[in-house]
Amino acid sequence: MDRLKVTQNIQLSNLLHTYAVKFLEFRVIREIFSHILNSSPIGYLILTGSKTYISHQNTVAKIEMGRICPACGEENTEFIMGLCGDCYSRRNDIIKIPGVISVDLCPRCESIRHEGRWRKIDKNGFISQIIEEKARILDQIKNIRMEIDHLVEDRWVNQLKITLSGNLAGKPVEKIALTEIRFVPRVCENCSKQSGNYYEAIIQLRSERGWLYDDEINRFQSMVEDMVAEERRKDNRGAFITKWEMKKEGANVYLSTRDLGKKISRKLRNELGGKLRESRSVVGRKDGRDLYRFTFSLRLPRYKKGDIVLANRKPAIIKSYKKGIDLVSGKEVRLRGDERIIGDLSSSFKGIVVNMDRTVLEIVSDDGSIVKIRRPLFKISIGDEIDVVDTDEGRWALPRGIP
């Protein structure tokens, strides 16, 4: 224990500094000192461990760290670094945040670059997210609430007032911090590629007949656009169509990535049928590696769905690539791909079966005429309404469900 005589206020101040009584305010010590000594400048200050004594004759006033806040005199409270929560929050930054936060924003697609990735996200939601990430809040604060007010808001600058409130050492506390979100215009990689006509894959649609029907081209375009839109809805920002190209022999679509071209071409084959081939060519080098472009060539058969072909000397209606329905047996058949087309559904008409024997059906058509056709092997009864198709090899009944 050190016992030191104090004769002047300035000496008391120096004494506090000398003994590093860090959190004792000179004003509080002076008031206690003056009260005990009846305004006399003579007295003793005794420092021992975490306790401070001020003595005059037989009187001792005690400030015990942990029972009394040395800054405001609050008794019987929780403490943090020797101060009550209220006094600590006034003297220290309980929330720290950079004065300026810079964020890359693509002026073309409004995507935001965050953690090294460009993402299409809500701007207001992102501001709340980045504030939570950048703010450093004192660990001891409980029941944290944070309010964000926009002082200035435009496309490129958001000035914000952040109000932090909570509970610190049993005391309600509140602190205000100011920051500014600056959105820096920077074109994202995908927009840069798209504007530069970048592509990695080409899908070529062709037909064995040497040309495409208009409905085949329209369906091709519609399916590709729908699939690219679906990829973008899944946050695949790298999916885009670079351009379309129409040629005498077919149609080409240029796509942003190989994976996109591969995925779409396989779906097209499953829907449209045909043969799919993949090839690649070197277009340059980067970082010592070859760069490739990929071509996916989808060749449709000469016939399309709904065409009538002669397969194994029997008529069959095309169901999908290399699959058809035999119009005699009603069963599915495999096709080679080179079958001769003998008709299509555009020549079909409806009729009612009015009579039949083992080999012939007698039908009354829509216009009232009576038509006789070969009786198929699949089930048909008198009174049934059926579809009949007219082909180069005669008229045939269509199985139920077709077309």
Q: Report how far residue 306's alpha carbon sits from residue 220's, in angstroms, rounded to the nearest whole number.
A: 17
**Ranges assigned E (strand) in 130-269:** 136-137, 142-153, 157-168, 171-185, 201-207, 241-247, 250-255
Residue 155 has pLDDT above 90, yes or no: no
Plot region of 143 (φ>0 → left; ψ -120 to 50 → alpha; else → beta):
left
| 3-class DSSP state of 380 | coil
Among candidates 305, 195, 179, which has minimal Cα distance to 240? 195
Task: Say what percent of the chain tops pLDDT 90.
Answer: 40
Average per-residue pLDDT in the chain? 81
Within the chain, which residue ranges are assigned CATH 2.60.40?
95-185
At 260, the pLDDT band (50, 70, 90 cuts) reads very high
**In this predicted structure, what is the pLDDT of residue 76?**
67
Q: Report how far residue 50's alpha carbon sits from residue 246's, in angstroms, rounded to the nearest whole number.
A: 88
Q: Report how far residue 243's alpha carbon sits from residue 295's, in angstroms, rounded to the nearest whole number.
A: 14
| Longest Cα–Cα distance in the chain | 137
Within the chain, which residue ranges are assigned CATH 2.40.50?
307-397
- Which tens digits make up the pLDDT trace of 21-59? 434 444 445 455 444 444 444 444 444 334 444 444 333
Residue 280 has pLDDT above 80, yes or no: yes
Contact 353, 384 (CB under 8 A): yes
Residue 13 has pLDDT above 50, yes or no: no
**In this predicted structure, what is the pLDDT of residue 2?**
35
Residue 75 has pLDDT above 90, yes or no: no
At 68, the pLDDT band (50, 70, 90 cuts) reads confident
Residue 338 has pLDDT above 60, yes or no: yes
**In this predicted structure, what is the pLDDT of residue 50?**
41
Token pair in block for residue 71: 């800054």
**Residue whose token pair is 């037989």:** 58
Q: Report how far residue 161's alpha carbon sits from residue 152's, in angstroms, rounded to the nearest whole number.
A: 10
Beta carbons within 8 Å of 70's beta carbon, 6+ residues apart: 21, 23, 24, 25, 28, 63, 82, 83
Q: Report how far residue 215's alpha carbon sits from residue 222's, in angstroms, rounded to the nearest whole number.
A: 10
At 247, the pLDDT band (50, 70, 90 cuts) reads very high
Among candidates 389, 305, 303, which has minimal Cα distance to 345? 389
**In this predicted structure, what is the pLDDT of residue 356?**
92
Contact 74, 68 (CB under 8 A): yes
**In this predicted structure, what is the pLDDT of residue 366?**
86
Overall average pLDDT of the 321-326 stretch: 82
**In this predicted structure, what is the pLDDT of residue 275?**
86
Q: Report how far residue 299's alpha carbon sits from residue 133's, in angstroms, rounded to the nearest whole number.
A: 53
- Its CATH class, for the domain covering 95-185, is mainly beta
Q: Report how far residue 275's alpha carbon sits from residue 266's, in angstroms, rounded to the nearest whole number.
A: 10
Overall average pLDDT of the 137-153 stretch: 88
Q: Report how far residue 204's alpha carbon sits from residue 198's, in angstroms, rounded to the nearest whole number.
A: 17
**Torsion angle, alpha carbons of 148, 153, 157, 162, to 10:** -10
Ramachandran angles phi, psi of 312, nearest 5°: 55, 40
Specify the amino acid at residue 183. Answer: F
Q: Report how far residue 260's alpha carbon sits from residue 229's, in angstroms, rounded to the nearest whole number.
A: 12
**In this predicted structure, what is the pLDDT of residue 29?**
52
Q: What is the CATH number of domain 307-397?
A: 2.40.50
The one-character DSSP state at 386 is E
At 74, the pLDDT band (50, 70, 90 cuts) reads confident
**In this predicted structure, what is the pLDDT of residue 194?**
83
Q: Report how far residue 71's alpha carbon sits from residue 74's, in angstroms, rounded to the nearest whole number.
A: 8
Overall average pLDDT of the 178-204 stretch: 91
Ramachandran angles phi, psi of 188, nearest 5°: -70, 165
Which of 25-34, 360-369, 378-387 is the least confident region? 25-34
**In this predicted structure, what is the pLDDT of residue 302?**
82
The count of other CB atoms within 10 Å of the CB of residue 279 is: 11
Token pair in block for residue 142: 């409980």
- Which tens digits make up the pLDDT trace of 80-111? 887 888 888 888 888 889 999 999 999 888 88
Which of 1-10, 171-180, 326-335, 355-364 is the least confident region? 1-10
At 65, the pLDDT band (50, 70, 90 cuts) reads very low
More confident residue, 17 or 166: 166
More confident residue, 272 or 373: 373
